[in-house]
């Protein structure tokens, strides 16, 4: 029997939503799902090499940013990049940077992004992946 497939459109580049995506990826990895992640607009900003480890923006409850970040540290939660890396080590996870989104942030080649990214593609690949996925999420 083939593995179930999760397609994740990752729009947000905020640490709260990237952390949530990391938790979802952990669950998908535990279920041995195949995962396709499509990194769109603001998420492409967060995946740029110079931004990935310094991005501490939050999208929700912005006045609680410091409390949220302190909680993550207190809980020993891994940085979102490490959660993604662990999931990639556990199951079949492919991370695709949207070509348009990359260009918005001056990312024209794969080397402009963190090493978790597997390729740069067009939005049509996301649409095809979403059509064949058992679960399709947009964060």
Residue 3 pLDDT exceeds 90: no
> Residue 82 has which token pair?
């490490």
The predicted-structure confidence for 84-135, as pLDDT tens digits, reads as follows 999 999 999 999 999 999 999 999 999 999 999 999 999 999 999 999 999 9
pLDDT-based confidence at 23, cuts 50/70/90?
Answer: very high
Domains of the chain plus CATH, in order, are: 5-138 (3.40.1260.10)
Decide: 59 and 1 in contact? Cβ < 8 Å.
no
The confidence band for 1, taking pLDDT boundaries of 50, 70 and 90, is low
Query: Quick one: residue 44, left, alpha or beta (phi over 0 = left, psi -120 to 50 = alpha)?
Result: alpha
For residue 56, the model assigns a pLDDT of 79
86: left (phi over 0), alpha (psi -120 to 50) or beta: alpha
pTM, entire model: 0.93
CB 44 within 8 A of CB 98: yes
The 10s digit of each residue's pLDDT in 33-86 is 999 999 999 999 999 999 999 877 888 888 898 999 999 999 999 999 999 999
């Amino acid at each position: 029997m083939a593995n179930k497939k999760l397609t994740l459109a990752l729009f947000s580049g905020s640490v709260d939503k990237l952390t949530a995506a990391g938790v979802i990826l952990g669950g998908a990895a535990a279920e041995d799902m195949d995962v396709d992640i499509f990194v769109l607009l603001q998420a492409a900003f967060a995946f740029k090499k110079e931004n990935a480890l310094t991005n501490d923006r939050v999208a929700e409850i912005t006045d609680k940013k410091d409390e949220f970040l302190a909680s993550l540290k207190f809980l020993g939660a891994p940085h979102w990049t490490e959660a993604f890396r662990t999931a990639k080590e556990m199951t079949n996870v492919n991370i695709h940077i949207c070509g348009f989104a990359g260009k918005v942030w001056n990312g024209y080649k794969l080397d402009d992004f963190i090493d978790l990214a597997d390729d740069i593609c067009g939005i049509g690949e996301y649409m095809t992946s979403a059509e064949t996925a058992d679960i399709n999420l947009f964060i």
